[in-house]
Structure 1
């Protein structure tokens, strides 16, 4: 009794044609074997798969390009969020520091008034700045990769940031 299909054969490789061009081919076969396991008949095909291999290679390159693009977008988002987080913490820490100084010196009305003005200026400019960034970010489909910092502002914002970050007058321990 003969066994059929006991040892399939399926391989793809490149060959050189008479014209000198290389093409991909698939060579597949099944063997019929006798009762001792010796092959006595082969049924097979030899197929030109050059177009299929080229299409698969192109698809692989497109997938790799899409992955690289997604990686760049993820890095840009991470960088944007890291920078904006830092830029938000800086003025907020200044406001908290001025508030702490004012609380530590409740008897000094002049210090409290000066610190309150600095805190108000910093808070207003910071809120306006981040509101505009939030609107711009929400209206776009992706986080802009080219922008490494939030848009710069002029006038009171820079002055307020310097005032908030700069040294404030303190008195001895209360």
Structure 2
């Protein structure tokens, strides 16, 4: 009888431990156990370099959603980013979407800057004011190699 009780208690302890690990995995991964109440929006960017599906969407530095999909608009050679935000977040129609970087070479995310319009974006609508990502590598390359090429142009021929 004691052996059965001990096995039962160990089983309960193991199940509680697994449930805690599953909960922490979902929460630390930025997910939601119940799916949460969200709505979809999209934005068009000329460049989304470094942005990935699953990247965060932030307002004032606070996570409010996730990037769901990134696709190319073939007719205009632009990127369309589809993302979901919390349903209690009402964004004015003149809001702006920017692609930012955490730190100097950190992860990319979509930063939303709410506008002041009286009307609000509805599910599935597109944010029209956008600011594309800055490619740090190309900027550093231009600075490094641009200054070298300028100096070689100034040098007199041998």
TM-score, normalization: structure 1?
Answer: 0.27
Greater RCO (CA < 8 Å, at least 6 residues apart): 2
Structure with higher Rg: it is 1
TM-score, normalization: structure 2?
Answer: 0.29
More helix by share: 1
More strand by share: 2
